[in-house]
């Protein structure tokens, strides 16, 4: 900005604007955001940007199986990241796999967020024995590792993208419930909520218009990190053979299917999907870290 006239009124900054400005302060975070945009958009645009539809079996040629990265088949199609044993282009498989991974990560997080928000709000606002029971449940669930709970749930539910989403939602809701409850309890004691109550505003108005917006920042931070967590967890479950079905492979599935080839030196089938997974998770974590710093200076480490 050039030297402003001293008489001009101070620039009004909305919280959102300040957030955006502060977020772009960190080059690493901007890099993370850039990568994330790249990852998400390639997943969304998969049918248009993937060189091949990896699941149209008629397009696959067993003759171009296990080609190393950069080689071309007889028709001159280049397999930039190599191909798998069925002659599937790995780059296309990764782009489609990203779709499944992101779908599972984002939708399970969104559902868990919604459930946790409602449960946490009820716990904080109703209080008493309801609160105690809910938080006891949350404590017990959180004392067990997520992977174990998800594993058992999937053992019960069976394979399937929808089932993985359900299992991951069940695993995650408790984090949000706890976060929302503690944030809501802090906000509830603040004067503006008391003021709203004194004005005899209806309860749901107090909750929706006053409590909720102020509980959102910590929740957004937790949710960002949880998306990355959910994506990794899904990959792990699929690797263990209890996640998504073969017909709708995620990145984890792709990695697992390349495991055997890896031992014989055909690294690309596992390594490239792994790198894609890593880039996705790192970019989300970088964005999440910066959001935490910007939204809540107290959490800074």
Closer residue to another protein, CB minimum distance, 148 or 208: 148
Closer residue to another protein, CB minimum distance, 176 or 239: 239
220, 187, 230, 277: which is closest to 23 by C-alpha? 220
Total residues found in the chain within this entry: 301
Q: Give the Cα separation of 84 and 91 in Å (integer).
A: 10
Closer residue to another protein, CB minimum distance, 184 or 223: 223
Reduced to 3 states (helix: H, G, I; strand: E, B; else coil), residue 5 is: coil
Concatenating the DSSP letter of every residue in 225-260 gives HHHHHHHHHHHHHHHHTSSS-TTS--HHHHHHHTHH
**From the CB of 28, what's the least distance to another protein, in Å?**
8
**From the CB of 286, what's the least distance to another protein, in Å?**
7
Closer residue to another protein, CB minimum distance, 24 or 144: 144
Q: Give the Cα separation of 234 and 52 in Å (integer).
A: 25
Closer residue to another protein, CB minimum distance, 72 or 299: 299
Buried b (16+ CB within 10 A) or exposed e, 253-282: bbbbbbeebeeeebbbbbbbbbebbebbbe
Reduced to 3 states (helix: H, G, I; strand: E, B; else coil), residue 79 is: strand
Q: Which residues bind another protein (CB under 8 A)?
A: 140, 143-145, 147-148, 151-153, 155-156, 158, 228, 232, 235-236, 239-242, 252, 255-256, 259, 262-263, 265, 267, 270-271, 274, 277-278, 281-282, 285-286, 289, 301
Q: Please compute, for residue 147, the number of CA atoms within 13 A of its CA located in the half-sphere on the CB side.
A: 10
**From the CB of 88, what's the least distance to another protein, in Å?**
20
**From the CB of 260, what's the least distance to another protein, in Å?**
11
**From the CB of 191, what's the least distance to another protein, in Å?**
30
Q: Give the Cα separation of 43 and 36 in Å (integer).
A: 11
**From the CB of 163, what's the least distance to another protein, in Å?**
13
Closer residue to another protein, CB minimum distance, 98 or 215: 98
């Amino acid at each position: 900005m050039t030297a402003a006239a001293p008489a001009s009124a101070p620039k009004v900054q909305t919280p959102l604007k300040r957030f955006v400005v502060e977020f772009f302060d960190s080059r690493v975070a901007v890099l993370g955001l850039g990568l994330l945009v790249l990852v998400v958009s390639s997943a969304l645009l998969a049918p248009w940007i993937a060189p091949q539809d990896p699941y149209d079996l008629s397009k696959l040629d067993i003759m171009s199986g296990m080609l190393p990265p950069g080689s071309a088949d007889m028709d001159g199609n280049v397999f930039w990241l190599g191909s798998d044993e069925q002659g599937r282009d790995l780059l296309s498989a990764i782009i489609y796999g990203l779709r499944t991974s992101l779908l599972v990560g984002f939708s399970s997080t969104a559902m868990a967020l919604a459930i946790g928000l409602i449960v946490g709000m009820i716990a904080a606002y109703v209080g008493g024995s309801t609160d105690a029971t809910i938080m006891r449940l949350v404590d017990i669930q959180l004392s067990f590792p997520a992977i174990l709970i998800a594993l058992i749930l999937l053992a019960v539910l069976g394979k399937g993208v929808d089932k993985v989403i359900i299992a991951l939602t069940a695993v995650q809701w408790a984090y949000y419930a706890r976060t929302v409850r503690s944030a809501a309890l802090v906000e509830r004691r603040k004067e503006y909520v008391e003021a709203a109550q004194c004005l005899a505003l209806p309860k749901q108005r107090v909750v929706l218009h006053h409590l909720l917006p102020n509980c959102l920042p910590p929740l957004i931070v937790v949710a960002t990190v949880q998306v990355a967590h959910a994506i990794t967890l899904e990959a792990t479950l699929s690797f263990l053979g209890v996640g998504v079905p073969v017909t709708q492979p995620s990145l984890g599935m792709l990695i697992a299917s390349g495991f055997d080839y890896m031992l014989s030196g055909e690294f690309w089938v596992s390594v490239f999907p792994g790198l894609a997974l890593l880039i996705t998770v790192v970019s989300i974590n970088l964005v999440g870290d910066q959001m935490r710093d910007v939204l809540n200076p107290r959490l800074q480490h």
